[in-house]
């Protein structure tokens, strides 16, 4: 199965060549004449629904949508401590993972490491493995932005004290075990669920394009 996921707040638009196997109900959209900007404009406020564009070539359809949006690149990390716990932050009333925009002349992996260290006050020991990419759409002035975030698996030595970067709106930073994720899962973004699945913190419900 080939699948792309575009996240719009708590909504997810799947672009796939077969119907994803999942517990949540999915609404199939009419492919003929599909206009992403019109779809975005007509999305009801404060919803958390899944939508599907069932196409023979998901890559081509995704590329067509991407080319009509303003691309911003970002990078972040799923950080594991030596005790086997994972780093989470609380920002904008949601649990999240540390991430941020790539600066000019900066590589994606380098940006991910820098953002994690800045946002949580830790020193990253390794960030060798790329986990996945996520795509999130949001408005910026009169434009629609597609934020492409590359996620990396990272580690730290020991389990250092966390210092949340309050000027970035981060009010909490915590180390949590796999057994403590219930509060995260009920108050986070679909894109973060994808990262946790690929990072083996959760069981993957379906194949994800990496």
pLDDT in tens, 29-47: 999 999 999 999 999 988 9
Please check whether residues 118 and 136 belong to one and the same domain. Answer: yes
> What integer is the mean pLDDT of 159-171?
96
Please check whether residues 183 and 165 belong to one and the same domain. Answer: yes
Is residue 203, in this structure, part of any structural domain at all? no
Please check whether residues 33 and 86 belong to one and the same domain. Answer: no
Please check whether residues 94 and 53 belong to one and the same domain. Answer: no
Q: Is 77 helix (H, G, I), strand (E, B) or coil?
A: strand
Is residue 210, in this structure, part of any structural domain at all? no
Q: What is the pTM of this model?
A: 0.91
Please check whether residues 15 and 100 belong to one and the same domain. Answer: no
Q: Calculate the alpha carbon distances from 109 to 106, 128, 188, 199 in Å.
A: 9, 8, 24, 16
Q: Calculate the alpha carbon distances from 105 to 34, 108, 150 in Å.
A: 36, 10, 16
Q: How many domains does the chain have?
A: 2
Please check whether residues 49 and 83 belong to one and the same domain. Answer: no
Q: Which residue has the higher pLDDT, 14 or 206?
A: 14
Q: In which domain, by residue range, is 178 found?
A: 74-198
CATH of the domain at 123: 3.90.79.10
Is residue 51, in this structure, part of any structural domain at all? yes
């Amino acid at each position: 199965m080939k699948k792309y996921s575009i996240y719009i707040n708590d909504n997810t638009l799947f672009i796939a060549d077969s119907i994803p196997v999942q517990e949540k109900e999915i609404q199939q959209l009419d492919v003929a004449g599909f206009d992403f900007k019109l779809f975005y404009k007509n999305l009801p406020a404060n919803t958390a629904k899944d939508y599907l564009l069932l196409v023979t070539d998901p890559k081509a359809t995704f590329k067509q949508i991407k080319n009509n949006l303003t691309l911003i690149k970002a990078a972040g990390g799923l950080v594991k401590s030596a005790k086997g716990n994972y780093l989470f932050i609380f920002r904008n009333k949601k649990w999240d993972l540390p991430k941020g925009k790539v600066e000019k002349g900066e590589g994606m992996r380098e940006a991910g490491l820098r953002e994690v260290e800045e946002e949580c006050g830790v020193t990253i020991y390794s960030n060798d493995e790329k986990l996945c990419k996520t795509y999130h759409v949001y408005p910026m002035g009169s434009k629609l932005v597609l934020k492409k975030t590359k996620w990396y698996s990272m580690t730290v030595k020991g389990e250092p004290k966390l210092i949340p970067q309050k000027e970035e709106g981060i009010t909490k930073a915590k180390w949590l075990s796999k057994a403590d994720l219930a509060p995260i899962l009920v108050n986070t973004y679909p894109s973060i669920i994808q990262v946790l699945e690929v990072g083996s913190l959760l069981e993957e419900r379906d194949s994800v394009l990496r």
